[in-house]
Amino acid sequence: MKNKSLIIIIFIVIISILIYSFLYSNTGLNGLEKEVSKFVLPENIEKIAIKSGIGDSGGNGDYSTYRVVLVVKTEMTLDELNQEFESRNLTFLSHLPNSDTPICYITYCQNKVFKSERDFTLTFDELEDVEDFSNYYFIEFIK
């Protein structure tokens, strides 16, 4: 009888760990980063790095906004890059299609540190050796 109880408890623990692992990797910040990393970019846009973090949205100050920042390199201008993302009608689970909110915010990359307007920074060590940032952009996705 004790062996049956022990087996049941071990089984429940294993199932719980598997469910938690699945939810952790497919929801929240990790889920958003996974969705963004799956975006297929045109050949003329090179994906350099991706990082994520939790920051302030400027609303209630609770620092619960998920942010994923993608670093890309391209010969496109900022306007062309914005048009590319708008024309592709990209969407992911947390973004409402046909809403007034853009799917992403694109800014020039001037150094290895991304700094948003809302007290949020990420440092990209992958950009450590870059001397000319003229073709680099930060693309920020917010949930």
Q: What pTM does this model have?
A: 0.73
The contacts of residue 57 (CB under 8 Å, 6+ apart) are 64, 65, 118, 142
Q: What share of the chain is helix, strand, coil (3-state, %, to 5)?
A: 35, 25, 40
- How does residue 27 score in pLDDT terms, banded at 50, 70 and 90? low
> CA nearest 53: which of 1, 120, 136, 139?
120
Indicate the helix (H) or strand (E) that contains 54.
strand 45-55
Nearest-angstrom CA–CA distance, 137 and 114: 10
Q: What is the pLDDT of residues 30-55, one digit of tens each?
A: 777 888 888 888 889 999 999 988 87
